Amino acid sequence: MKAIAIIPGSNTLALIDRPEPSLTADDQVKMKVLRVGICGTDREEAAGGRAKAPDGIETLVLGHEMFGQVVEVGKAVTRVKPGDYAVFTVRRGCPTCIPCGMHRNDMCTTGNYHERGIWGLDGYQSEFAVDQERYLIPVPAELADVGVLAEPMSVSQKAIDAALGTQRGRLPDAAADPDWLSGRRCLVAGLGPIGLLAAIALRLRGADVWGLDVVEEASTRPQWLKTIGGEYINGMQVKTTDIDDTVGEFDLIFEATGVASVEFNLIDALAVNGVYVLTGIPGGDRPIEIAGADLMRQLVLKNQAIVGSVNAAPGHFRIGVDDLGRAQNKWGANHIAKLITQHHPYTDFQAALTEHAADEIKVVVEWGA
């Protein structure tokens, strides 16, 4: 079968031939891949960054944001049948640590995990994929157009969950109120897919959402956010450290910029008892200058918390899929589908992985007929 692969550590990108996978155990599911999303991680891999091929081979099939249709199931599979839509998750746990033993591969402590399409296991940029049912999340047919957003949505959901869990563990009001987010001031920094999907989840829970980016207010991403009731902060006009004086402080900050200096300076916009969750993974190793004493003084004197978040558990995928459905009902399927701004046929993989349009939100590669 055809697959899009790289030689890790290089920028050699090619359409290759891989043997078509078939079921080898009763608990496995085979899917026809319909489309696969591209994110910063894929582009970093395609540019020679962090990636690892499966043991014993030179190439790695890319792709971890998959959406597919079941074509065959093993005898022990109970949750899906041929014809159903679903996604496979990304991370496979290590054999030894406690979180992996508890099916929380996303919290692996040894680092000996694998990630499909990223670290040691082929990804989903290919015609077919096989994996165990325990790594499968069903997607209702009504969500077929946006099911490919399930993986980035799971990343946003885990980060919000981490922020809320932090607050519940230390604030009496957050512990007592399941609707704690309702009416809270939330800042989403970086209006890419992760940020906008987080904005969906926060708006669905009644939060007041401001989005920060460095594009014109009239452009696609700020306008998309405004349609779901968010406000826009133009980072070309407001310095990160002036956000608090201009629009006020925030109870929750969700970071998805991947820009280290912005990530540090955003602490300044946090309210008393605020929580700040980071999902951006900055590249490079250039030192940056920050007002360290100011930021740390504030963090302590205002009881603030900072938490990093990567990957997601199956539960975050499930909540994410539910939220995509609720979002379609609330703002219209058309509006949610507009998050996918570019559809490339798989033959156009080079452009999909290397070109970056100014107005893009999610770029996907199409494998389905």
- The site for ligand BGC (CB under 6 A) is made up of 39, 41, 64, 90-91, 115, 118, 151, 155, 310-311
Smallest gap, in angstroms, from Cβ of residue 3 to ligand BGC?
A: 19
Our CB check for ligand BGC shows the closer of 147 and 274 to be 147
For the stretch 118-121, contacts whose Cβ atoms lie closer than 8 Å and that sit 24 or more positions apart, written own/partner, are: 118/41, 118/45, 118/50, 118/51, 118/52, 118/64, 118/90, 119/50, 119/51, 119/52, 120/52, 120/53, 120/54, 120/55, 121/54, 121/92
User: Within the chain, where are the H helices?
Assistant: 40-46, 98-101, 150-170, 172-176, 193-204, 220-227, 243-247, 260-265, 292-301, 314-331, 333-337, 349-354
Smallest gap, in angstroms, from Cβ of residue 2 to ligand BGC?
A: 23
Spatial CB neighbours of 177, under 8 Å, sequence gap ≥ 6: none
Coil, helix or strand for 149?
A: helix
Our CB check for ligand BGC shows the closer of 151 and 208 to be 151
Our CB check for ligand BGC shows the closer of 30 and 316 to be 316
Our CB check for ligand BGC shows the closer of 42 and 208 to be 42
For the stretch 337-341, contacts whose Cβ atoms lie closer than 8 Å and that sit 24 or more positions apart, written own/partner, are: 337/145, 337/146, 338/224, 339/146, 339/149, 339/193, 339/196, 339/197, 339/224, 340/145, 340/146, 340/148, 340/149, 340/364, 341/220
* Structural element, H or E, at residue 85: strand 85-88
Smallest gap, in angstroms, from Cβ of residue 29 to ligand BGC?
A: 20
Smallest gap, in angstroms, from Cβ of residue 112 to ligand BGC?
A: 14
Our CB check for ligand BGC shows the closer of 269 and 321 to be 321
Smallest gap, in angstroms, from Cβ of residue 311 to ligand BGC?
A: 3
Our CB check for ligand BGC shows the closer of 80 and 90 to be 90
Smallest gap, in angstroms, from Cβ of residue 257 to ligand BGC?
A: 14
Smallest gap, in angstroms, from Cβ of residue 155 to ligand BGC?
A: 5
Our CB check for ligand BGC shows the closer of 36 and 233 to be 36
Our CB check for ligand BGC shows the closer of 64 and 362 to be 64
Residue 40 is encoded by which pair of tokens? Answer: 């910063």
Number of residues that make up the chain: 369
> CA 109, 5, 73 angle in degrees (round to 5)?
70
Smallest gap, in angstroms, from Cβ of residue 131 to ligand BGC?
A: 15
